[in-house]
Structure 1
Amino acid sequence: MLDALQIATTVIVGLMVGVEFSVAFVINPILAALPDDSGQQARSHGGRMLGAVMPVWYIGSLVLVAVWAAAGRSQEGVGLVVTAGALLIVSVIMSLLLLVPINNRGKTWTPENRPADWKEQTNRWDRYHYVRVAVIVAAFTLLVTALS
């Protein structure tokens, strides 16, 4: 049973990392290259879509890691799992304090109502997101290492 939990947790966290990595290094650069207001409109739509899914994914991943740490507390590598959980907590805190406020504004923007500094806010979100991606990649790496 613990093996299934470990594998499911690692897969779910890995998929989350893949989505967030893709947003940072594939999707957003593509959107930035779109003409006129298309990129901003696409980011607003993406903010609405992913903004609905990612909170559940982040919290669900954290819960799974916590269950893994508790269930495997006597196993070798549990320190890695606990550290991965701490990193996921950092990513959730970063999200709530830094990224979500910008995303909540950005998902309502249209070419008619966006603020004058919308590009600066978008760039700030991107910088915070790069750090968050690094944090969750580190957490995922620890989980994979704990499996071996």
Structure 2
Amino acid sequence: MSSVALRYGVVVLAVVAIGLVAGTLLGSGLVGLSAKGLPEEMWTKSFQLEDALYSKAMPPLFVTSLAALFVSCFVTRGSARGLFVAATVFMLVVLIVTLWGEVPLNQQIQTWVPGAAPANWADIRDRWLANHLVRTIAGLLGFVCATVGLAKM
């Protein structure tokens, strides 16, 4: 395989991976917003089920995305490189908000008994949604940067 093909392969992997992250975040955010109207017991059960899935599926996708984006910063040139650096920074924002904002809330919510959540459960849900909005915007901006970066190669 030629070095050009390998370079393009890594860059395409970066775009696909960050696209999957951004799409997953967008979908999860939309579900979270629509679930705001649910009573606590139903919301808690739904959130706990979704979190159990995402906590297994997302880490490998995050690692793949970050690794491919990082390598893309070194195999691209000119404005494409700048766009992949920006995409990597946006993905790091997603990771930071996830680890320091969302994961602690996820762990807290996983301990709740549906129907007997704390009195401030809606505040915690809304804080999760606000954090999620930040990481969704960062993920989407990263995807746009990576896609434009690929087009400029």
TM-score (norm 1): 0.89
Alignment match, 2:137: 134
Change (3 A) 1:84 1:36: closer
Task: Find the aligned partners of 2:43 and 2:115 in 1 and give their Cα distance.
Answer: 14
Distance 2:120 2:84 in 1: 40
Name the residue aligned to 1:15: 20
| Count of paired positions | 146
2:74 is aligned, of 70, 73, 76, to 70
2-structure distance, mates of 1:35, 1:102: 19
Per the TM alignment, residue 95 of structure 1 is displaced from its structure 2 partner at its CA by: 1.1
Counterpart contact for 2:90–2:138, Cα < 8 Å: yes
Give the structure 1 partner of residue 3 of structure 2: none
Aligned residue number for residue 51 of structure 2: 47
Provide Cα deviations, 1:29-48, integer angstroms capped at 9, x if missing partner: 34334456222211111112
Structure 2 unaligned regions, length at least 5: 1-5
| Contact 1:31-1:40 at 8 Å conserved across structures | no
Matched, 1:59 2:63: yes
Distance 1:104 1:132 in 2: 18
The Cα offsets for residues 95-133 of structure 1, whole Å up to 9 and x where unpaired, read as 111111001111232225522211110110001100110
One-letter amino acid of the structure 2 residue matched with residue 21 of structure 1: L
Q: Tell me how far 1:64 sits from its aligned partner.
A: 0.8
Q: Where is the helix percentage greater, Structure 1 or Structure 2? A: 2
Structure with the bigger RCO (C-alpha within 8 Å, sep 6+) is: 2
Separation (CA, whole Å) in 2 of partners of 1:120 and 1:36? 12
Distance in 2 (CA, whole Å) between partners of 1:92 and 1:69 is 18
- The percent of aligned pairs where both chains have the same amino acid is 23
Contact 2:42 / 2:114 at 8 angstroms: preserved in 1? Answer: no
TM, length-normalised to structure 2:
0.86
AA aligned to 1:121 is: I
Match of 1:103 among 106, 124, 143: 106
Work out which of the residue numbers 142, 146, 150 in structure 2 matches 1:143.
146
Contact 2:22 2:136 in 1 (8 A): yes
